[in-house]
Amino acid sequence: MSTDNVVDTGRRRFLVASTSVVGAIGAGFVAVPFISSWMPSERAKNAGAPVEVDISKLEEGRLLIVEWQSKPVWILRRSKKTLADLAKNDDRLRDPDSKNAAQQPPYAQNHYRSIKPEILVLVGICTHLGCSPTYRPDIAPADLGENWLGGFFCPCHSSRFDLAGRVFQGVPAPSNLVVPPYKYLSDNVIRIGDDKGAA
């Protein structure tokens, strides 16, 4: 298995380099723990085939970015506090209950928008015009306000999403971030792009 770097500059640009260990990260990520890992074959990448990801080294609060069908897919291990805080956002969200069925498979149409509550899997592309939002887990930062409990911020037109990928009211993005089809092959291996037999 190879470990690759992903640099997310905040727009829909991301760089995947065939080197080990994480290198430079975007300015918005400076203080954010960040790792990346993926292992598709060249042939699989070209075909847009499912991608298998080992999350055994993914620590709480860290965001893993892999590429699937030429799109960044985020995998985030959320803490118990993060999961508890989600409910505090509900009355400020456009679709807190994920009623828009197009934005996630049925098995992620729940409060956490995931199969296992702690592991969030999202397509990292803004539902407005396709930029890639930045991961902002910091609580109440000066630029995002005292109500910010961590989430994703799109720098293109300031759309905001919480740590379940749910969009806030009053921003240009019309819908929650997309949860791709996925399933667990084992406790620590996720297959993205294939949910046959998923929970």
- Restricted to residues 53-112, the positions that interact with ligand FES (CB under 6 A) are none
For residue 34, report the phi and psi dihedrals to the nearest 5 degrees: -155, 125
CA–CA distance, 199 with 195 (Å, rounded to integer) = 8
- Is residue 139 within 8 A of residue 152, CB to CB? The reply is no
Instruction: Give the total residue count for the chain.
Output: 199
CB nearer to ligand FES: pick between 11 and 77 = 11
CB nearer to ligand FES: pick between 23 and 174 = 174
- Restricted to residues 141-160, the positions that interact with ligand FES (CB under 6 A) are 154, 156-157, 159
CA–CA distance, 23 with 6 (Å, rounded to integer) = 8
- Is residue 113 within 8 A of residue 120, CB to CB? The reply is yes
Is residue 129 part of the contact set for ligand FES (CB under 6 A)? yes
CB nearer to ligand FES: pick between 58 and 73 = 73
- Is residue 130 within 8 A of residue 57, CB to CB? The reply is no
CA–CA distance, 174 with 51 (Å, rounded to integer) = 28
Please choose, out of 66-74, 92-100, 111-119, 123-131, the segment that lies near ligand FES by the rule CB under 6 A.
123-131
Tell which one of 131, 149, 164, 190 touches ligand FES (CB under 6 A): 131
What is the closest distance, in whole angstroms, from the C-beta atom of residue 153 to ligand FES in the complex? 9
CB nearer to ligand FES: pick between 57 and 157 = 157
What is the closest distance, in whole angstroms, from the C-beta atom of residue 175 to ligand FES in the complex? 12
Long-range contacts of the stretch 182-185 (C-beta < 8 A, 24+): 182/115, 182/121, 183/115, 184/115, 184/116, 185/52
CB nearer to ligand FES: pick between 12 and 62 = 12
- Is residue 185 within 8 A of residue 130, CB to CB? The reply is no
x-marked contacts with ligand FES along 165-194 as a string, rule CB under 6 A: -------xx---------------------
Q: How many residues bind ligand FES (CB under 6 A)?
A: 11
Contacts with ligand FES, residue ranges (CB under 6 A): 126, 128-131, 154, 156-157, 159, 172-173
